[in-house]
Structure 1
Amino acid sequence: MPVARPRRLSLAVAVVAVLALSACNDAESPSADPSAPTTATGDAPAPVAPAVVTLVEPGAAPRRVVALDVEEGHMETSTLELTSTTSVDFMSSPPITVPMTIPFTSTVADVTDDGVTVEVVYGKATVAGGGLRKDALDQARKALGYLDGVTARVGYDRSGAVTSRDVEVGDDAPDVVGRILEDVVSQGSALAVAFPTEEIGVGARWKVASAISVGGSKVGVVSTYRLTELTDAGYAVSVRATQVTEPGDTLAGKVIEGSSTSTGTVRGQTGLLGPAVARSSTEGDTTVEVGGQRVRTTFEVTLRATTQ
């Protein structure tokens, strides 16, 4: 049975948020306190609000149920390559383009009739300079540097939807950085390719509604999928996702409004957790009130993810 792969396409949005904090460091923004306590988590993964999957069109025959089909102990390595271009409407700041790479290893820790539990260990992220000043680049690299060694434990049901999530942050990570890293991981796991529980065939379409947290702000996500290929060797889907951020206080300031749209493709391979190849393109903007002044940030992100 083809494997329904957890999708990490919108992880880029969380990384852009980290870089936006660096780009806006001339404004009055919160700073990390090295003596602040580290964000810690318990042994049991925390439950998350379930995604709502609605089948729109079952597709052509032959049809089948697409479900996670992996063995306990299976291990694989994945790499995210993404390039973000960010423009901040503040003091005539020029656009900033930053390429980065984030590696991680996934291990299937447990398999039951109801779902699977996966342990994800992130490696050292690399960040190229792009248009960042040296101090801002150093700040971005330091923030993403805490990702190295971070472990996430994520539970999925058989359809590929996230049911629980827990993140372990290093003891030396400031609390503010710990929360940023939790946002990075939560975006990656929350935007999984959740397949319908019904039988589907090529041409099938379905919608997935979910909610995630980014920087302490609630984000509603609606993704529309179309199955373009389904064989014993794997599957391929196209996806379009929209995100809308609720107003409220966040790590970067008070969010007034924010939204983004992503389009992409995911090709899964039987026996793999991660996508053999996934590509996406995202455009969005966010307006944040910092120190009594509103700052609008627009961003474009291209991403390529591979697993072996």
Structure 2
Amino acid sequence: MMGSSTRFMQCFFFCFTLSIFSPLANSEDAADGLGIDVELVRAGNEPRRLVRFSPEVGTVQTSEMIMEMQQQVSLGGVAMPSQPMPPQKLTLEIKVTDVSSEGDVSFEFKYTDMKVIDDPNNPSPLKATIETMLKPMIGSIGRGVVTNRGLTKSGEYEVPDDLSPQLKQMLAGMKDAMNRLSSPVPEEAIGMGAVWKVSQSIVANGMKLDQTSTHTITNMTDDGFQMSVKLEQQADPQDIENPMLPPGTKLRLDSLESNGSGKSIIKENAIFPLSSEVKIGTAANMSIDVAGQAQKMKTDITMKMSLQKGGI
């Protein structure tokens, strides 16, 4: 039971990390119709200008993403043995297919490669399992539409048919959480030192989270900018239903809090950052019920992601 539950948590947070840094998003509906609130805190120094994304149709961007995740699980207050997960490298190809007269950018993306970065001197016993899980996703595609301010209007991801039923349902649930790499920017003109907050509700495989990120411009050029980002996430208590759980198992989230920070380099002729780094720490407390026997499980997770330009 414990092994199955911890494997579920590893896979869940792996998929959740993937969704946070994937091209699409479907945030919960909000008053503006996009489910995203962008609040300008400080406009920054003069000179200021409007920041708008304006890629050309046919532009192709290749990005390489490396994800690392480490976790520590305790059950009933007793720490369980921890098996480090090796880093995973994912390669994305993004193509701009249309730009409307209003500036909305339509794009397609494809996962062209996925692999485990293993230490040959200390190979991970999880390598084969992770590669088996990732391999069917190679070649999978999706598409989306973002505004010229980086706000996602629509998106979809085609879940590969040859995935295992459990992972297929997991990723199908993640379609509602495919978060944006095109960073939302304020409507107002901004300059060096500008600060804004982005708030949104995300549904990740049935789990609802509230996310707030604070963005600060650290360098600005005529065609882009660099920024630092601070990230906070929290989730209210809720039941979690997932086919990867053992039969008869009930899992309830008691609390979840995440804090992270990172930095990005943005160019306005591209809808994804040229480079990005982020590190997030998450503490999740859960209640597990199996055949009427309840236990408390605490999971502490550290996730790192780096995104580098492969070509544009």
TM bucket (normalised to shorter chain) is 0.7 to 0.9
CA 1:185 to 1:236, structure 2 compared with 1: closer, same or farther past 3 Å? Answer: farther
Per the alignment, residue 169 of structure 1 pairs with: 159
Which deviates more from structure 2 when the two are superposed, residues 198-207 or residues 95-104? 95-104
CA distance in 2, matches of 1:268, 1:27: 37
CA contact (8 A) 1:66 1:195 kept: yes
In the alignment, does 2:61 pair up with 1:76? yes
TM-score by length of 1: 0.78
In the alignment, does 2:13 pair up with 1:25? no
Report deviation, 1:231. 1.0
CA distance in 1, matches of 2:131, 2:254: 27
Which deviates more from structure 2 when the two are superposed, residues 117-126 or residues 142-151? 142-151
In the alignment, does 2:86 pair up with 1:98? yes
CA contact (8 A) 1:87 1:96 kept: no
CA contact (8 A) 1:161 1:194 kept: yes
Report deviation, 1:279. 1.0
Report sequence identity in percent: 22
CA 1:133 to 1:271, structure 2 compared with 1: closer, same or farther past 3 Å? Answer: closer
CA distance in 1, matches of 2:259, 2:154: 25
User: Paired residues, what number?
Assistant: 273
In the alignment, does 2:277 pair up with 1:279? yes
Report deviation, 1:174. 3.6
Where in structure 2 are the equivalents of 1:295-306 lying within 5 Å?
295-306=297-308
Per the alignment, residue 116 of structure 2 pairs with: 127
CA distance in 2, matches of 1:118, 1:92: 44
CA contact (8 A) 2:25 2:176 kept: no
CA 1:29 to 1:187, structure 2 compared with 1: closer, same or farther past 3 Å? Answer: closer
CA contact (8 A) 1:24 1:88 kept: no
CA distance in 1, matches of 2:223, 2:176: 29
Per the alignment, residue 56 of structure 1 pairs with: 41
CA contact (8 A) 1:146 1:177 kept: no
Residue identity in the other structure for 2:109: V
CA contact (8 A) 2:110 2:141 kept: yes
Where in structure 2 are the equivalents of 1:243-282 lying within 5 Å?
243-246=233-236, 247-251=238-242, 253-282=251-280
CA contact (8 A) 1:154 1:189 kept: no
Aligned-CA RMSD value: 2.9
Residue identity in the other structure for 1:286: A
CA 1:28 to 1:173, structure 2 compared with 1: closer, same or farther past 3 Å? Answer: closer
In the alignment, does 2:145 pair up with 1:160? no
Which deviates more from structure 2 when the two are superposed, residues 183-192 or residues 196-205? 183-192
Report deviation, 1:95. 5.2
CA 1:66 to 1:100, structure 2 compared with 1: closer, same or farther past 3 Å? Answer: same
In the alignment, does 2:83 pair up with 1:87? no
Structure 1 stretches (4+) deviating beyond 6 angstroms? 130-133
Per-residue displacement from partner, 1:237-258 (whole Å, max 9, x unpaired)? 1110111123221436332221
Report deviation, 1:132. 9.3
CA distance in 2, matches of 1:137, 1:289: 29
CA contact (8 A) 1:269 1:275 kept: yes
CA 1:125 to 1:29, structure 2 compared with 1: closer, same or farther past 3 Å? Answer: closer
CA distance in 1, matches of 2:231, 2:97: 30
SS in 2 for 1:273: coil
Per the alignment, residue 5 of structure 1 pairs with: none
Answer 1 or 2: higher relative contact order, Cα 8 Å, separation at least 6. 1
Where in structure 2 are the equivalents of 1:152-231 lying within 5 Å?
152-182=142-172, 187-190=177-180, 192-231=182-221
CA distance in 2, matches of 1:230, 1:182: 38
CA distance in 2, matches of 1:163, 1:305: 23
CA contact (8 A) 1:244 1:260 kept: yes
Per-residue displacement from partner, 1:236-295 (whole Å, max 9, x unpaired)? 111101111232214363322212111000011343332222111111122233333332
CA 1:88 to 1:276, structure 2 compared with 1: closer, same or farther past 3 Å? Answer: same
CA distance in 2, matches of 1:76, 1:191: 12
Where in structure 2 are the equivalents of 1:38-57 lying within 5 Å?
48=27, 49=29, 50=34, 51-57=36-42
Per the alignment, residue 228 of structure 2 pairs with: 238
* Structure 1 segments unaligned to the other structure (5+ residues): 1-20, 33-44
CA 1:234 to 1:190, structure 2 compared with 1: closer, same or farther past 3 Å? Answer: closer
CA distance in 2, matches of 1:56, 1:94: 42
Per-residue displacement from partner, 1:155-176 (whole Å, max 9, x unpaired)? 1111101111111011222443
